[in-house]
Chain A
Amino acid sequence: MKLSGIESGWAMAALSAMFPGSPETGLEGIAAMDVSGYLDDVMRTRPFRAVLGLRVAVWLVALAPPFVLGRVATIVGLAHPERERLLDGLLAHRTYSVRMLVMLLKTFGALLYAGDDRVRARLRPARLRPLIALRLRGSPR
């Protein structure tokens, strides 16, 4: 029940928007990792309902741009900032199942990204740096 090529492309577009890496610290994004191998493993080893949910989530983020941003495109056709805006909107969506499905995708992405040895190495307390000012956008409500 592997993701098809087109589904993998959508998943990669969404996950690389979620976990883009940090130019300030030199931390690589999820795109530098083996995302397709990871997703194959998820689809092979996780329970049916989780796998089904993940697949629906991929289709949801792929086809959401017309409904959330008013753009006739799939997520692949969006520029990076628009992808972030799309995903932020879906995570705060008024429909519970939409929020939960996108959260499921984020959860699987986070398990891969933050579980990576290179990422973990950068997070160790020994590497503490002084806090720089947070430059955060207005938080979605």
Chain B
Amino acid sequence: MKPPAAPAPSAPSAPFPDDALPAGAVVEGDRLEADCEDAYDYVVVGSGAGGAVAAHVLATSGASVAIVEEGPWVHTRDFGERVYDAFRVLFRDAGMQVIEGRSYIPILQGRCVGGSTVVNSAIAHRTPEDVLDDWAGMDLGGGLGGVVTAKTLEPHFDALERELSAHAVSDDALGDNDRRFLDEATMHGLLGRRTRRYEHGCRGSGRCFTGCPNAAKQGMSVTYVPWSLALGARIYTSCRVERVVIEGGRATGVLARAAGAPGRGERVIKLHARHGVVVAASAVQTPNLLRRSGLRARALGEHFQCHPGYGLGALFDDAVRASAAGAGRMGATQGAEITSLRRTDRVKFETLALQPELAAVRMPGVGHDWMRRFDRYASFAQWAMVLRAEAEGTVRSAWGGGDKVRWTPSPVDMDRAVKGVARLARMMFEAGAREVWPGLHGVPTAIRSVDEVSAIERMPREPRAFSFLSTHLFGGARMGTDPRASVVGTDFQTHEAARLYVVDSSVFPTNLGVNPQHSIMAMSRLAATRIVAGGRARNRAA
């Protein structure tokens, strides 16, 4: 079935796609009066990029589908402007989740209907072919068996781009910061381009990280989740899946818990799955959920990778925050990028339009110096580096039931990070920055000329000197044909339990070097299509 058309951006009074949902399609765990039990063909764990796409494919095939989401459904009309509030309601651990290693690295993950697609910039990069080639050649018991290739993914990328309106940032949403960045890329002979995103009528509010107030960003909570519900699926919100029920070597359902209606105590939700359970809980939560469900694969929780990101702030002489759409609009949250250094230097550069609170954290110093800088917020720009790090880490369960991620960048990663930041700082000065704020320990808090960039190049390659942040997470339940080296087979089923499928970035054998949402969605769509085909084949055989 073709997804319903998105509302026209010129009609603000038109209902948002998450305004009017089918009666009975949403079961809110924090309002449950009693325990509940139900049966479906498929139960999908997670409503982010992986889960929502899989649920839609399965529902489109005519299967009955339940989606179970740990977080609440925060509707478009309820998205506020304040980062503090958004962190509390939209992000896992209120935005305070960290990777532990040589240094602490915050990781930001959505924990709401739509998952991280509610709080990211909806950037659409196809999986680079060299990455797919690497996967095919890895020692995973014969690579990925020719299942995940550019050719097999192509129709799914095409469909996603068509259904979610993927296109480059428009003139109206392009900020002045983005234009300077693109000019600078051209001067350096680098391939700079407008970011390609899933959006429909972006107005350049610069609020992608706290939920798009116009439903222009085509996140899962305004697309595949409501589209799935329109096809008969049901979603259980604010319900945490405790474990997948495995009986006779086969996944048969999930056991979840919810806070229940106020004063009524915790509620238990048992959902039976006739044909399978599809897990898409993310690279951090999926390995631990599989572990809680009794899986013991040696590779479970191993080979975790990420893209540590680092933002450089700078002050320009004039305004860089206005977009062509007019005063008061910041432009696209992420409007421009350079990807041509991904293979050679393993870095990607991009622009970031930070909301005032996040910019305030990034501005150096305290007191009156800080105030003078903050007062020039309109002239503040942030350019960021995303590193395709080589190091691997682990995902484990923490004491008390949480998640514990351990990862430290390798010396080679650190060398690339230092060189990347230095290059970015030089570009910012050449673009007209008055001062650049490296934010690196051991380097002046503000440097005022391109000559001073050498202080960055000379700095020790020490993770604790950086304040990395990561939103791109991979591995922990990686795919392969060898059960000793992987958790999930090339049919997206775990090696240990039949009809237990994993369709998020935890199955990726490595990181990508580009934003992963598009790859997650295409892999999930490929997986769900095969699950449907497998189910039909089983039915015929029966």
Interface residues, chain A, with chain B CB atoms under 8 Å away? 17-22, 24-25, 27, 45-47, 49-50, 80-81, 83-84, 87-88, 91-92, 96, 99-100, 103, 106-107, 110-115, 119-120, 122-128, 131, 134-137, 139-141
Contact status B372-A134, CB under 8 Å = yes
Interface string of B355-397 (1 = CB under 8 A from A): 0110111001111111111111111000000000000000000
Docked pose: A123 CA to B363 CA in angstroms: 14
Chain A residues within 8 Å of B83, by CB: 111, 115
Docked pose: A81 CA to B367 CA in angstroms: 8
Chain B residues within 8 Å of A84, by CB: 366-369
Q: A87-B367, A115-B82, A140-B445 are in contact. Are A107 and B377 (CB under 8 A)?
A: no
Contact status A50-B371, CB under 8 Å = no
Distance to closest chain B CB from A58 (angstroms):
15
Distance to closest chain B CB from A42 (angstroms):
9
Contact status B378-A123, CB under 8 Å = yes
Q: Which 4 A-B pairs have the closest CB atoms?
A: A84-B367, A110-B360, A114-B360, A126-B327
Contact status A19-B371, CB under 8 Å = yes
Distance to closest chain B CB from A41 (angstroms):
9
Within the complex, which residue of A45, A47, A125, A135 is in contact with B378, where a contact is CB–CB below 8 Å? A125
Docked pose: A84 CA to B53 CA in angstroms: 51
Contact status A124-B328, CB under 8 Å = yes
Interface residue? B535 (CB, 8 A)? no
Chain A residues within 8 Å of B375, by CB: 22, 24-25, 27, 122
Interface residues on B, range: 35 or more
Distance to closest chain A CB from B306 (angstroms):
19
Please provide the chain B residues from 279 to 324 with a CB less than 8 Å away from any CB of chain A in the complex: 315, 317-319, 321-322
Docked pose: A25 CA to B367 CA in angstroms: 15
Interface residue? B96 (CB, 8 A)? yes
Within the complex, which residue of A96, A114, A135 is in contact with B464, where a contact is CB–CB below 8 Å? A96
Contact status A20-B317, CB under 8 Å = no
Contact status A134-B365, CB under 8 Å = no
Chain A residues within 8 Å of B357, by CB: 110-111, 114-115
Interface locus among B417-425, B434-442, B518-526: B434-442
Contact status B442-A141, CB under 8 Å = yes
Contact status A134-B435, CB under 8 Å = yes
Interface residue? B444 (CB, 8 A)? yes
Dominant secondary structure at the A interface? helix
Contact status A114-B374, CB under 8 Å = yes
Among A99, A125, A127, residue most surrounded by chain B Cβ atoms (within 10 Å): A125
Name the CB-closest residue of A to B467: A103
Within the complex, which residue of A88, A120, A128, A131 is in contact with B365, where a contact is CB–CB below 8 Å? A88
Contact status B94-A50, CB under 8 Å = yes
Chain A residues within 8 Å of B356, by CB: 114-115, 119-120, 123
Docked pose: A113 CA to B315 CA in angstroms: 20
Within the complex, which residue of A18, A92, A114 is in contact with B445, where a contact is CB–CB below 8 Å? A92
30 residue pairs of the A-B complex, CB under 8 angstroms, read A19-B366, A19-B371, A22-B371, A24-B375, A25-B375, A47-B93, A49-B96, A50-B96, A88-B365, A88-B366, A96-B441, A96-B464, A99-B441, A103-B467, A110-B361, A111-B83, A111-B87, A111-B360, A114-B374, A115-B84, A122-B375, A123-B377, A123-B378, A124-B327, A125-B378, A126-B327, A128-B319, A128-B378, A131-B376, A140-B445
Q: A20-B371, A125-B322 are in contact. Are A136 and B446 (CB under 8 A)?
A: yes
Docked pose: A114 CA to B104 CA in angstroms: 24
